[in-house]
Structure 1
Amino acid sequence: MIKDLIKAKGDEISVLEGTDRLQYLIDLAKEAGALEDKYKVDQNKIFGCASNLWVIGKKDNGNMKYQFDADAFITKGTTKFVIDILNNQSAEEISKLSKEDFKPLGIMELLTAQRQSGLSNLLDFLIKLAK
């Protein structure tokens, strides 16, 4: 169940202190691939972010496959952290999630107000793609 994965991931990084969590997100960003430029269009853009973030998603045998790119490490790392949980999970299960379900990750409080807004918009977008 996705909510269990979210809690497990939150528990996993809870041992890291504030700046170490941010460094973890930056390290994740360095592992993330890039998105082809043809997908970097407004239709795929997450608005309200402190930086540019694009996400695409498709259903594959009932499961979601997401790809993304961002032009800032914190944004890219945060997105990878969330998408790693949701990739290859049931589209039906993702579509029933709410932003509240992601609170156990414990990353929202690390982010500036603008990045919190961006993360909130990202979660809405990922859920919408699954519907």
Structure 2
Amino acid sequence: MAQEAFEEIVADFEFLEDWEDRYRHVIDMGKAMDPLPDALKVPATKVDGCASQVWLHPRPENGTFYFDGESDAMIVRGLIAVLRALYNGVPMDQLAKVDAHAELARLSLEDNLSAQRSNGLRAMIKRIGEQA
């Protein structure tokens, strides 16, 4: 059920065989995101359970889920970009059906992240799931 943007990341990861290249690609994706306005970096949008500072701001539009995000860590900002590719554009009534862990397993992300980063990724997925 992955979005087309996420399928593009899967294809990129298949092309980039070396994990260091994949890591750089994730960071580049994060750098390409627009920054989250400071006015949206509030306790209500802050994600607990992350080693770095993370904010996720949902913005449903016409029954479709979208979110923006920000982190002070470049790799986490890239992980937000990956999650945006997975979730942005999903109908609100289908949001709970997205199996983020299965989709992300296709990228072997959690196998190559530190325990703290993996915990943070799970915290972000949980926060998005709470929007469903």
Task: Please tell me the TM-score bracket, short chain as reference.
Answer: 0.7 to 0.9
Displacement of 1:98: 3.9
Please list, as runs of the form range in 1=range in 2, the aligned pairs for 1:16-31 lying within 5 A after superposition: 16=16, 17-31=18-32
The answer to whether residue 101 in structure 2 is matched with residue 100 in structure 1 is yes
Who is 1:48 aligned against?
Answer: 49
Who is 1:114 aligned against?
Answer: 116
Q: Identity rate of aligned residues, in percent?
A: 25
Who is 1:32 aligned against?
Answer: 33
Who is 1:73 aligned against?
Answer: 74
- How many residue pairs get aligned? The number is 130
Moved more, 18-27 or 100-109: 100-109
TM-score, normalised by the number of residues in structure 2: 0.86
Who is 2:128 aligned against?
Answer: 126
TM-score, normalised by the number of residues in structure 1: 0.86
Displacement of 1:18: 0.9
Please, which runs of 5 or more residues in structure 2 have no aligned partner?
none
Q: Larger helix proportion, structure 1 or 2?
A: 1
Q: CA RMSD in A?
A: 2.0
Who is 2:12 aligned against?
Answer: 12
Determine the C-alpha separation between the residues in 2 that align with 1:89 and 1:83: 10
